Amino acid sequence: MIKDITIARPDDWHLHLRDGAMLEGVLPHTAKDFARAIIMPNLIPPVVRGADAKAYRDRILTALPDGMIFEPLMTLYLTEDTQADDVAAAHQSGLVKAVKLYPAGATTNSQSGVQDFDKVTGVLERMAKIGLPLCVHGEVTDHEVDIFDREAVFIDRILTPLRQKIPDLKVVMEHVTTKDGVDYVMENEKNLGATITTHHLIINRNHLLAGGIKPHYYCLPVAKRESHRLALRAAATSGDRRFFLGTDSAPHTDDLKEHACGCAGIFSATNTMSCLAHVFEEEGALDKIEAFASLNGPAYYELPVNQEKMTLVKEDEPVIYPEKFQTGAGPVTLFDPGFDLYWRVV
Ligand code: DOR
Ligand code: ZN
């Protein structure tokens, strides 16, 4: 039985760090294990212009505790008013590594997102030209569409025509949650990758809804039925270069999660690597965890693999993580995988 594994230090290709006291509270959890992360721009107000991203990056680096090394990879929030020249300049300077597309109303702080996709064609064409990836929250927001079908419908209605119109645009389907999403990526060789979260490898919609509603398992896209979870597991543990880790770790304080209209988001930064080692071991694929967490992401983003290493050790006794921790913004509950974790990052 394998008792330890050493991999290149991982990165998180989809992360919410927030701002202010929450940023200070959660950043060390990510910086402890991850060398870099793609930082989501859905702040209030959103990170829209290059100057906003520069200021946010400075705030992140100021919040980083002394002695920790972490590189935030900044993104811009695409709006119908986004200027192609501003995007190109932010990319050219090395500051911005992707642009994020939220369909308006799809999720937390997405009010400023895109309603009319024709209005962003110019920016997307420019991004295709300069090789800047588009990270996509792939859900339609049409109230007529069932929330469990919103990803599949997005692929048909929005993503497929968009990629036909601008085939040179590099796209990352963020947090795929369905077999439809996995199949779409598998059918497309060029300019398409996908992130998969820790929690979507572990929970299905029963975890969220059966036996009482569990607000700490509520996220968007919402967890789907078991057959979809199994498709995600197969994709993540296959080693296929198109799939890589994006935790979508998204902290909200407990009062906002345990609420009549609770926020979407699962905080998993602290125990993601323990959870992933458990999942990959269960699938007999520990030899693929490095591809998923450390190699495929940099390859897609055309960045170097981290030189530093991380070792995971399997303990005989469960590794205990706190159920929640305090931040200056309030308490945040950590993702509970629902089973004991034995893998520890050393
Ligand atoms: O669960 C989610 N939380 N999904 C998202 O798309 C946004 C995120 C957040 O910002 O809280
Ligand atoms: Zn997210």
Asked if 26 and 17 count as a contact pair (C-beta separation under 8 A), the reply is yes
Ligand 1 proximity of 249 Cβ (cutoff 6 Å): no
Residue type present at position 126: R
Longest dimension (CA), the chain: 56
Quick one: pLDDT at residue 29?
A: 98
Residue type present at position 136: V
Give the tens place of pLDDT for each residue, 259-308.
Answer: 999 999 999 999 999 999 999 999 999 999 999 999 999 999 999 999 99
Beta carbons within 8 Å of 332's beta carbon, 6+ residues apart: 22, 25, 26, 251, 252, 253, 254, 267, 324, 325, 326
Quick one: pLDDT at residue 175?
A: 98
Asked if 203 and 230 count as a contact pair (C-beta separation under 8 A), the reply is no
Residue segments in the chain with a per-residue pLDDT below the cut of 70: none
Write phi, then psi, for 279 (nearest 5 degrees): -65, -45
Domain region containing 254: 4-345
Beta carbons within 8 Å of 40's beta carbon, 6+ residues apart: 14, 15, 16, 17, 75, 100, 250
**Beta partners for 192?**
171
| 317 HSE (CA, 13 A, CB side) | 2
Asked if 73 and 39 count as a contact pair (C-beta separation under 8 A), the reply is yes
Ligand 1 proximity of 200 Cβ (cutoff 6 Å): no
Protein residue with least CA distance to atom 2, ligand 1: 265
Using the mean position of ligand 2's atoms as its centre, give its distance from the Cα of residue 251 in Å.
10
Quick one: pLDDT at residue 109?
A: 83
Quick one: pLDDT at residue 12?
A: 99
248 an active-site residue? yes
CATH of the domain at 76: 3.20.20.140
Sheet with strand 243-245: strands edge to edge: 12-15, 36-39, 71-77, 96-101, 134-136, 171-173, 192-196, 243-245
Protein residue with least CA distance to atom 10, ligand 1: 108
Q: Which of 52, 248, 255, 287 is catalytic?
A: 248
User: b/e for 20-53, b at 16 or more Cβ within 10 A?
Assistant: eebbbbbbebbbebbbbbbbbbbbeebbbbbebb
Query: Which pair of tokens denotes residue 10?
Result: 């991982």
Quick one: pLDDT at residue 107?
A: 80
Using the mean position of ligand 2's atoms as its centre, give its distance from the Cα of residue 5 in Å.
29
Q: Which residues surround ligand 2, an ion (CB under 5 A)?
A: 248
Between CA 163 and CA 173 the distance in angstroms is 12
Quick one: pLDDT at residue 39?
A: 98
Quick one: pLDDT at residue 110?
A: 84
Domain count, the chain: 1
